[in-house]
Structure 1
Amino acid sequence: WESEYDIQVIPINIQFGDRTYLHGVDLDNEGFYRLVDESGRIPKTSQPSPYQFKEFYQRVAQVGDTILSLHVTAKLSGTYASAVAA
């Protein structure tokens, strides 16, 4: 649906051991589940940094698009704080 409606989504950081991936950039859903199966580990995730949000927002704004930024509540994730800091 993202490509169908030209929706841009900022990727979250996924950490398997000492390696970090960006969801949908370095690691798709199939690769994610393969790594879980192969490693037997549940990865850690983290919100995009304020710098990642800033870069993302600037790229989207350059083409003149309106930005509607939807986030999980600040009580459950640091994503909102990173977006505000950007």
Structure 2
Amino acid sequence: MLDKMGAFTFDRINSQLFEKSYNRANFGGPAGTMNAWYMSEMNPVTFPAGILRQPFFDENWPTSMNYGGLELVAGHELVHGFHDQGTQ
């Protein structure tokens, strides 16, 4: 009996998670923007094409510097998913 109740609760919670539909074509800004952002309501991190220029990326830099610059931004944006909407 408890297994059936647990399965019912699990199914109900999962269906609530997927009820909302989002426009995945809306990235929250223009592609040329030199920025990245996290949207808490959908839980994505968006990196527009504009991030692929200095000071984060340059085709003449070593690969390690390009990865480092992009990962700096990626790490910053990912942390937004774990904090409480700013400092108190």
TM range (shorter): under 0.3
Higher strand share: 1
The normalised TM-score by structure 1 is 0.26
Q: Bigger radius of gyration, 1 or 2?
A: 2
Bigger relative contact order (CA 8 A; separation at least 6): 1
Q: TM-score under structure 2 normalisation?
A: 0.26
